[in-house]
Amino acid sequence: MDDGSGQILAYFSLSIKEVSLNQNNETKISKGLRKKLDGICKNSERVNAYLIGQIGKNDSVADNQINLSYILEEAYTIIDKANQLVGGRVIILECEKAEKLVALYQKNGFNILIDNPAERLITMYICVR
């Protein structure tokens, strides 16, 4: 929140989501990546992940200096606290298949996990720090 006006500068939501690692042949997930995400098993079919959703910035606030890196750092701070209590290895987000959007998340350390041609969203991941 803006200290002066009390307006919301940016927001995000967090939850837990079970991700199916059994995708169609076009988006096959390697055994090495399955083991990295699961932590133990290279044949894992599902993994629980922290889901970052609804990331947004209030552009109506003049001189809003908030950027995606800052929003993600705030989300990571909360995820770190949850991770200390309940564990976890993976953070995911789902976004539209817009080239600039995907590149922006990749610049912030995310990698494509699931890109099913039949779906309008892709799933991207980063490992918990």
Q: Domain for residue 5, yes or no? A: no
Model confidence over 4-50: pLDDT tens digits? 677 888 999 999 999 988 866 556 788 899 899 888 888 888 899 99
CATH number of the domain bearing residue 117 = 3.40.630.30
Residues 6+ away with beta carbon under 8 Å from 77: none
Q: Domain for residue 32, yes or no? A: yes
Model confidence over 56-84: pLDDT tens digits? 988 888 888 899 999 999 999 999 999 99
Domain around 93: 10-127
Hey, what are 100's tokens?
A: 């600039």
For residues 69 and 57, what is the distance between their CA atoms, to the nearest angstrom? 12
Q: If DSSP codes are grouped into helix, strand and coil, which group holds residue 37?
A: helix
Q: Domain for residue 2, yes or no? A: no
Model confidence over 86-117: pLDDT tens digits? 999 999 999 999 999 999 999 999 999 999 88
For residues 37 and 31, what is the distance between their CA atoms, to the nearest angstrom? 10
Domains in the chain: how many in total? 1
Q: Domain for residue 67, yes or no? A: yes
Q: Domain for residue 20, yes or no? A: yes
Q: Domain for residue 45, yes or no? A: yes
Q: Domain for residue 71, yes or no? A: yes
The number of residues in the chain equals: 129
| pLDDT value at residue 2 | 63
Residues 6+ away with beta carbon under 8 Å from 26: 116, 117
